[in-house]
Amino acid sequence: MSFGQNVVATKIELLKYKRSSQVAIMVQKILDDKRKVLLKNIEEMIEEASRARGGIWDPLQDIYASVNEAYLGLGTSRVDSVAESTPPVMQVDVQVRRVVDVKVPVLAVSEKDTKSMPYGFADTNSSIDRASKQIKTLLPQICKAAEYENSILSLAKALEKTQKLLNALENIIIPQYQQRVRFILATLEEREREEFAKLKKLKESMEKRK
């Protein structure tokens, strides 16, 4: 037992390693519970993200088609000019919530002005108007999908870190503590046998002298 050379085989050390082993086992239980909760949340968010993404692609194709029509009807320069001069009417607020001590984003989309279009109809056509309305309608769902994707990544990183700690506890730390406890117990038992043998010999010697 090579590591035993660095272990002082005393009752105090035995108590120390027993307590350390108990603490490590308790931490292992906590981390395992955390791992299960993280997995559950990741699985739920993957389903939510899949649903959110599923309703995006067809509307996006419609938006691309509307933008393409605008480019064909007005020309690249005109459409780009309208895009650059148009003030933002949508606002995305980012907040943070915690899932098992992991910070994940929460995105909220709001409109700054819903009463009028931020550009003149004389300089545009119906394609731009249609694309603008479609984007305003779809943006909250796009942000929700992005929210789930980002949350999944954050939770996956936390899960990886938790799993590494669990592996270290299960495969290295706890077995090492337990092995040291066994080593000290075996050493103490051997000492007790040696002391018993010495006392027995001493007793026999004293009896012979009598």
One digit per residue, the tens of pLDDT, for the chain of length 210 reads 344 457 888 889 999 999 999 999 999 999 999 999 999 999 999 998 888 888 888 888 888 888 888 888 878 887 777 777 777 777 888 899 998 889 998 988 887 765 555 555 445 668 878 888 888 888 888 899 999 999 999 999 999 999 999 999 999 999 999 999 999 999 998 888 878 777 777 777 777 776
Residue-level pLDDT at 4: 44
- In contact, 124 and 145? CB cutoff 8 Å: no
Residue-level pLDDT at 51: 86
Q: What is the CB neighbour count within 10 angstroms for residue 151?
A: 22
User: Which amino acid would we find at residue 60?
Assistant: L
| Residue 176 exposed, middle or buried by CB count within 10 Å (0-12, 13-18, 19+) | middle
- In contact, 181 and 21? CB cutoff 8 Å: yes
Q: Which residues contact 93 (CB under 8 A, 6 or more apart)?
A: 107, 108, 109, 110
Residue-level pLDDT at 115: 56
**Pairwise CA distance, residues 128 & 138, whole Å:** 15
Q: Which residues contact 43 (CB under 8 A, 6 or more apart)?
A: none
Condensed to tens digits (0 to 9), the pLDDT of residues 53-94 reads 888 888 888 888 888 888 888 788 877 777 777 777 778 888
- In contact, 104 and 150? CB cutoff 8 Å: yes
Q: How far is CA 159 from CA 27, 41, 49, in A?
A: 15, 11, 18
The full DSSP string for 26-82 is HHHHHHHHHHHHHHHHHHHHHHHHHHHHHTTHHHHHHHHHHHHHHHHHH-HHHHHHH
Domains, the chain, ranges and CATH? Answer: 2-199 (1.10.287.3240)
- In contact, 45 and 104? CB cutoff 8 Å: no
Q: Based on C-alpha coordinates, what's the Rg of the chain?
A: 35
**pTM > 0.85:** no
**Pairwise CA distance, residues 177 & 3, whole Å:** 11
Residue-level pLDDT at 168: 95
Residue-level pLDDT at 178: 93
